[in-house]
A and B are shown apart, each in its own frame.
Chain A
Amino acid sequence: MKKGQLLIESGIAISILVVGLLGIIGLLSRSLSLNNVISSQYIASNLAAEGIEITKNLIDANIIQAQPWNQGIATGFYEVAYTDLSLEPDENRFLLLDSTNSTYNYQSGQPTFFRRVIEIENSNPDEIKVNSKVNWQIRGGSYSVNLEDHFFNWRGGASGGPGPGTTHTYTNTYNGVDQGVSSGPLTFDGDFSTFMGNSGGAQGNTSVVTAQHTFATPTTINSIQYRMRAGGHCGGNYDKSADYNIYVQYRVAGVWYYLPGSQFSGGTGDGSISYDTGNITYSTPLANVTDILAYAYGQGHGEDRASNGSFADIFEINYVTQ
């Protein structure tokens, strides 16, 4: 055995030991730093899910407010915080962490390394594709979470988008039977002479005409004009009662309100009866109106014979916007 062999042997043994220990320590420190990355991934996935949920909240709010389901959710890049009631254009900002209430927002707090962008694709009027992306950089690596969700217009709400975006619905029933459009073009065109349609005749006893106008976006109405007529009559020695009901409503944030002074209803047992609203203008501004509805109903209670009748006419209903 040569001199120094023991030293060399022990040196090799110790170095193998040291390499092994270094491996363990390296593994642990790496898993500690990876834990940091993992925890940022957890935070980011929750923040990305928040972006999807806020968008869903805005879609459902459109349904509640009886607006087109995709209103305010057009194709583009947006940013949104948990308190927002609309999508804001993306400014590529970092989310802030407010240490007093522990919220991630854009208003107050220390900048975090998370950036969130909501990408909307609404090329199909009945489908909204939402991508909620969170990007961040930590420990020299770039990470990103991209959640995708597709929302569909299954509730059948009106679609906005290009074009005038306003819709009219019109019903005309006589004894519960749809009469279709009886006459005249159905337009809310500001022309006070448009004949909206009527219903009525010699046979039967109920006539209903409704005309509804839906705006693409909530609109401020300066004035509404309307002229309607409804009633019923019967002759001979039979039941002579008849009645009518006429009103105009407008809808704000999903709730229908009667236009002040537009409700007319009544009845009498004495032969023919009719009510004509004439030309009435309501000229106080109404904000955030989504729909206008005119309703005319007339009924003659007499037996079904040639001299019984009812009628309901909406001659016109017009509005002037701001």
Chain B
Amino acid sequence: MLLNNNHNKFKTGFTMVELLVAMSLFIVFTVIASGSFIRALRTQRAIVALIAANDNANLSIEQIAREIRTGSNFSLAGNDLNFSNANNIQVIYRLNSSTNIIERNENGADFKPLTATNVRINKLNFYLQGQLAGDGYPPKITIIINISPNIPTIQNISTNFQTTVSARNLDT
């Protein structure tokens, strides 16, 4: 009998107030949850872009520095670095100012991109010292890269890298 009584009590259903409270609570929590989930996705995208910026900058600095170290006959045309590498190939490193990508070229062939499209190179500067024969110093090239992720909302986060390389070839 007691069981039956309980059963009958549930059959009466929810009141309107209960339903409203339950639904509004559900909506509030859904909004909060989905909002934070979207935010989390966005943050994750930003993190990936920032990691990509670091990786691209480090890779291009490493590649340029290694080639400079064994190179010779350095010269600057504007901000483009021109030299012969260890295999006597004429190499140019430059910043393509319309695509904001570092480009490299061999013996006057087409420029090939060095950095990815998901990063934006704001600056690629070279400072040349000791490049003249008879100045008493080996060539010393300072490389400066200013890089930011290529996502409009976080493009203002830029990182400035600098390193200097001394060419091992003493003759020039």
Contacts and interface: CB of A to CB of B under 8 A. Distances in A.
B51 interface: yes
Interface of B: 25, 29, 33, 36-37, 39-40, 43-44, 46-47, 50-51, 53-54, 57-58, 61, 65, 123, 125, 127, 129-130, 134, 136-138, 140, 142, 144, 146, 159-166, 168, 170
B33 A35 contact: no
B162 A47 contact: yes
B58, B137, B146, B165: residue with the most chain A Cβ atoms closer than 10 Å = B137
B25, B129, B163: residue with the most chain A Cβ atoms closer than 10 Å = B163
Given A50-B162, A64-B136, A82-B164, 14 more contacts: A31-B47, A39-B159, A54-B164, A60-B138, A60-B170, A65-B136, A82-B140, A85-B137, A102-B146, A103-B125, A103-B142, A103-B144, A104-B162, A254-B134
Contacts, number: 115
Contact of A50 (B29, B43, B47, B164): B164
B56 to A, nearest CB: 11
Contact of A21 (B33, B65, B142, B163): B33
A14 B46 CA distance: 28
B7 to A, nearest CB: 11
Contacts of B65: 49
Contacts of B43: 28-29, 32
B149 to A, nearest CB: 11
Contacts of A202: none
Interface size class of A (residues with CB under 8 A): 35 or more
Given A28-B40, A64-B170, A255 B160 contact: no
Interface of A, secondary structure class, is helix
A83 B170 contact: no
B54 A39 contact: yes
B43, B54, B164: residue with the most chain A Cβ atoms closer than 10 Å = B164
Contacts of B144: 101-103
A61 to B, nearest CB: 4
A193 interface: no
Given A28-B44, A43-B159, A47-B162, A102 B125 contact: yes
A63 interface: yes
